[in-house]
Structure formats: structure tokens, C-alpha cells
Amino acid sequence: MEEQKDYRMSFFKPTTEFSRINRNLVIVLILIWGICVFGFQILLRIMEKPTPEKTLITFEKVWDNVKSGNASSDEKVQFADCILSVLGKSTLAAKPEKRAVLNNALSWAVYDLMSGDSLRSNFIGEISAFEKQRAELTDLKDPAYVNAKAEIIQKTAPLLGLEEYSLKARLIPLELRSAGMEVLQTENKDKLHGIMSLYLTHNQSVLTDTVFLGFPFHYFYTAVFLLILFVALCWIYSFMIDRVHKRLGNFDKTKTANS
């Protein structure tokens, strides 16, 4: 009663029946909101484990031999295949320095898989010409460019055991670099394993691997469900407050009070 006279109020010490009900409702809704938003992400964090893609496991199997120069042809094919898997990732587009390392690795593997010095030297010339053609290109449908690309695919795809129409085969002409093709440069060797690990390891758990309505579950939860929850919480609050006002006989006269 004393507080009522002094008009001291706080969220935790409501002064009217309405503000007491309102406070309780706010606490319940804030708790639901906080647990659903932050609690789920914390759970996701606790459950996740860095999980390598199959490609990384293959890469690690052949990497030591490739690095030491003792890789067999099969191992080089697997190595090139792994590099193409990362080069196909569009997140790499904004990282030209990492792409350059991978380009060198792929170019070297393809070059090394070719037999015969003349074939190799012709190939370097061919790639160099293609690079020049690409730099000056104005129309991606230019027949000369399309033919040159197809020729490179025809030559390289069988070397890497790829079907000509596969996605990886189509990447090859765009990712080969003529400069420094003959060797896998030492500084690139040092960086390669780190880049492969970075792009081929992901935080996964049962929450990310379960598919719900076509989505990875955690993605559905965050991108779809949370938004539904927010609208529902707002609706519930407005509905409940209207009911409380009705029950307490409050008449909302804001407009007349302030205009």
C-alpha cells in the first residue's frame, strides 16, 4: 500500500493487478523465447563434432605419397579428384589465394598423368592459349571458346577417370593453369593440407544430419520454425493482454488521453 502511495514501480514489483498479470506473462514468454532461440544453438554447439567429408579421408590417404613424390598413377587420380571437389565449392570464389594453390595442385596432377614430353609441352601451350582466349572472352557461348573447352575436357577427363559430362570434368578446363604446371610448388604443398581440411570438415551432429520436410533439421528449426514461434508468441501476448483488459474492465482510451 505504501508503494502504491509513493508510486514506486518496477518490473519485479508491480503496483496494479494488470501489471502483475502482465509481468507473469512477460516472464513466461521471454523464457520460451530465450530457450528456443539461444538454447537450441547451444545444444547444437554441444552436440556437434568436426566431421570430415569422404573426400578428405581419401585425400589424407594419398597425400603423403603425393607430397614425397612417390604417388602411383591411381593415387594421383584420386588426388586430382579430391582437389576438384574443393574447387567446385562456390565459397572458394571469394578466396583467390586459396584457389591459386588448388589450381597449381590440379594442373600438376593432370600434367604428371600425361605420358610423353611432347604431349605435355603441347598441353601447356593449349592451356595457355585457352587462358588467353578466356581472358578476352565477351560471350560464354562463343563457338571457338566452347570447342576449345570441349577439347580439353576430352583430353583430360579420361586421364582422371571422369565421365565427360560430369560436373568435375567440366571444371577442369576452367581450373588448369599453364604457369608452373610442371611442378607442385613447395609453398603450395605446405598450404594444401590446411585448405583441404578447412573446406572438407564440417560441424555435424544428429541435429544437422536428420532430414525434416526436406531440410537439415537444424536449418529448418532456425530458418522456418523460429519465425513461426516469434509470430505465435506475439499473437499469444496480444490475445492474452486483450483478455486481461476485458476481465479487469479496462477501457483503452489512449487516443483521447494523448491527442
Partner 1 sequence: MKKTIFYFLLFTTFLLEAANSAVKLEGGFKVGPAIIMIGMLVIFVVVGILNSAKDTSDYYAAGRSISRVGSGMAIASNWMSAASFLGMAALMYGSGYHGLAFVVGWTGGYVLLLILMAGQIRKYGKYTAPDFIGDRYYSTGLRIAAAIVTIIISLAYCVGQFGGIGLMFKWVMGMNFFWSTVIGSCVVLAYTMISGMLGVTKNMIIQYIIIIISFLIPLFILLFKFDYFWLLPPIGYGAAVSDVVNGIPAPAVSDMVNVIGHDFAILPSPEYAMPWDASTGQTFFQWMAIVFSLMLGTAGLPHVIQRFYIVPRARDARWSVVWGLFFICLLYWCSPIFSVFGKILSSNPEIGTLAPDAIVIYTAQLGNINPLIVGFLAAGAVSAAFSTVAGLLVAGSSAFSHDLYFKVFRPDSTPKQQMMMARIATVLMGVIVTVMSMMELALIAQLVALAFSFAAVTIFPLFLLGIWWSGSNKQGAIAGLTTGIIVTIVALTYFIAGKYGVALPAQEFISFWLGPWYFAWIGAPLAIFMNIIVSLMTEETPLEIRKFLVEKVHS
Stretch that binds partner 1, among 65-73, 114-122, 185-193, 238-246 (CB under 8 A): 238-246
- Residue 89: which of 165, 149, 171 has the closest Cα? 171
Q: What's phi and psi for 243, nearest 5 deg?
A: -65, -40
Radius of gyration, CA atoms only, the chain:
31
Give the DSSP H/E element, type plus range, for residue 155. helix 143-156
In whole angstroms, the minimum distance from the beta carbon of 154 to partner 1 comes to 16
In whole angstroms, the minimum distance from the beta carbon of 119 to partner 1 comes to 26
Stretch that binds partner 1, among 85-93, 105-113, 118-126, 177-185 (CB under 8 A): 85-93
What residues from 29 to 68 belong to the interface with partner 1 (CB under 8 A)?
29-30, 33, 37-38, 41, 44-45, 48, 53
Q: Is 76 helix (H, G, I), strand (E, B) or coil?
A: helix
Q: Pick from 147, 224, 243, 247: which binds partner 1 (CB under 8 A)?
A: 224
Q: What angle do CA 96, 97, 99 make, to 5 degrees?
A: 60
Q: Strand ranges (DSSP E) for the chain?
A: 49-52, 201-204, 211-212, 215-216
Stretch that binds partner 1, among 61-69, 111-119, 150-158, 213-221 (CB under 8 A): 213-221
What residues from 118 to 177 belong to the interface with partner 1 (CB under 8 A)?
140-141, 163, 165-168, 170-171, 174-175
Q: Pick from 19, 65, 133, 185: which binds partner 1 (CB under 8 A)?
A: 19
Residues binding partner 1: number (CB under 8 A): 85
In angstroms, rounded to a whole number, what is the distance separating the alpha carbons of residues 172 and 197?
Answer: 21
Stretch that binds partner 1, among 61-69, 90-98, 113-121, 152-160 (CB under 8 A): 90-98
In angstroms, rounded to a whole number, what is the distance separating the alpha carbons of residues 110 and 79?
Answer: 10
